[in-house]
Amino acid sequence: MVFSSALSSSSSSFTLPSPLRTHYLSTTLTTRSSTFPNHKFIKTRMQAQTTNNAAKPKEAKLWGGRFEEGVTDAVERFTESVSYDKQLYKHDIRGSIAHASMLAKQGLISVSDRDSIIEGLGEIEKRIESGEFNWRADREDVHMNIEAALTDLIGEPAKKLHTSRSRNDQVVTDLRLWCRDAIDKILASIKQLQVSLLKLALNNQGLIVPGYTHLQRAQPVLLQHLLLAYVEEIERDAGRLIDCRARMNFCPLGACALAGTGLPIDRFMTSDALGFTAPMRNSIDAVSDRDFLLEFLSANAITAVHLSRLGEEWVLWASEEFGFITPSDSVSTGSSIMPQKKNPDPMELVRGKSARVIGGLVTLLTLCKGLPHAYNRDLQEDKEPVFDSVRTILGMLEVSSEFAMNITFNRERIQKALPAGYLDATTLADYLVKKGVPFRTSHDIAGKSVALCTSKNCQLLDLSLDELRSINPVFDKDVYEFLGVENAIQKFISYGSTGSACVADQLDYWMKKLEIK
């Protein structure tokens, strides 16, 4: 044992008292021999296995023709990527099928070889999806695992598949295909959250809530208007993803390592087969740049920030201090020590997980900064931030939608909270403007009216006409049509405002766009 060895070492600065030391050593030896009676046998077996493993020759690398010795185990472990990039298998197989079909059409492989390759790739995909495929770290990545397995399966024809292709253009093709599918999934999740928010708005018609700026009471707004603000924000998030998808939808396959190939391939054929808009024009650009990933993760980061704001607002509103919403038990958690607690944990985690998505973007930006053209092995590190960003943003969208469908707005509590903060003060200023008073003067008069209310501990609606005229004689009895949050809401008429008619138009627009009846 390390500890007992240290105790017996003459260089040790710590020594147990002799009786305790004797007891410790005798107990340790007794325990060891009783617990592991065959430890000598086990040790011998392990040494034999190590010797056998060391004697067993490693599989030759598919790129190892000029090498006389294999890489060390440490290098093998450090450089492998199959542990995470194996999730690209569908896209890798799809790209290989398109590539093999093109090679056959161009006469670079036979039709028989093409059919064997496609049949073999189909079998490998079945094995992967059934869990029977053996992913091997010594085969480095998803591409080499599939190609080596194909060689094991069909033999010589598999060795022709990599004609006019490098892992440099292969991996970036796989990534573009994977990201394209990921964007489609995120877009579907964004729409689902929009639908949930819109339904929440429809179920709370006419509910007025305080609107805040600087986290201070500002003006009254319809709850529907506030919820639709989030619908609008994530619609722009969807737009960014759609634009990103269009820009990334160009095919790198056939760019090879960096310079293209001297063989007569048809890059337009593979591009069409894979659903790309066109082949990428420049082979160096095709394998070098990851700006499509940077744009994708940037779009995800902005979406995450929007969701974190929604999370923050609902966490605040669920607090005792606000008490505006009550989440159902199905989207809440409790405390391990405080039995009374009911926490909106999902939205706290939405707020927190935004950091992961932002961090993934920063990681990728840092990775790409200063890289010379063309491909560099650094780019192997581009995948994990992308995979994590997508996984996280999909989870955030899903739980936000789930939360939206499982909260109740506390109308009575909100109603009681509305009088505080003089939310109708700006509407009072608008009234004065309609009477011909310059806005700056109107602002000053409304401010003095609020000051009077503060001294009297009352609302603007409670001031008598005489009290208002003592501040300025322009006031008339029609002023009361502008005071109180209900009246104030009705006075908003500008396009996009929180007025009832304007919000009704917004609701109608989104019901049609999201196809809600």
Residue 169: left if φ>0, alpha if ψ -120 to 50, beta else—which one?
alpha
DSSP string, 417-448: HTTTT-TTHHHHHHHHHHTT--HHHHHHHHHH
Q: Which residues pair with 278 in a beta bridge?
A: 250
Catalytic residue among 33, 110, 335, 470: 335
Show the tokens assigned to 176: 């573009």
Cα-flanking dihedrals φ and ψ of residue 326, to 5°?
A: -125, 110
**Cis check: omega of the bond before 100, within 30 degrees of 0:** no
Q: Specify whether 354 is catalytic.
A: no
Q: Which residues pair with 216 in a beta bridge?
A: 213
Catalytic residue among 11, 130, 214, 455: 214
Distance of alpha carbon 184 from alpha carbon 177, whole angstroms = 11
Residue 133: left if φ>0, alpha if ψ -120 to 50, beta else—which one?
beta
Q: Where in 86-222 does DSSP place strands (E)?
A: 208-213, 216-222
Distance of alpha carbon 101 from alpha carbon 114, whole angstroms = 6
Show the tokens assigned to 29: 């030896």
Q: Which of 265, 236, 234 is nearest to 252 (CA)?
A: 265
Residue 157 DSSP class = G
Distance of alpha carbon 243 from alpha carbon 249, whole angstroms = 10
Q: Where is 409: in which H helix or E strand?
A: strand 407-409
Distance of alpha carbon 304 from alpha carbon 353, whole angstroms = 8
Question: Which is it for strands 278-279 and 250-251: parallel, antiparallel or unpaired?
Answer: parallel
Q: Where in 163-320 does DSSP place strands (E)?
A: 208-213, 216-222, 250-251, 278-279
Question: Which is it for strands 407-409 and 325-327: parallel, antiparallel or unpaired?
Answer: antiparallel
> Which residues, including other chains, have CB under 8 Å from residue 346's CB and lie 6 or more apart?
331, 399, 400, 402, 403
Cα-flanking dihedrals φ and ψ of residue 156, to 5°?
A: -55, -40
DSSP string, 13-57: S----HHHHHHHHHHHHHHHHHH-TTHHHHHHHHHHHHHHHHHSP
Residue entry with tokens 């391990």: 336
DSSP string, 327-370: E-GGG-B--SS-TT--B-HHHHHHHHHHHHHHHHHHHHHHHHTT
Cβ atoms of residues 288 and 375 within 8 Å: yes
Catalytically annotated residues: 214, 335
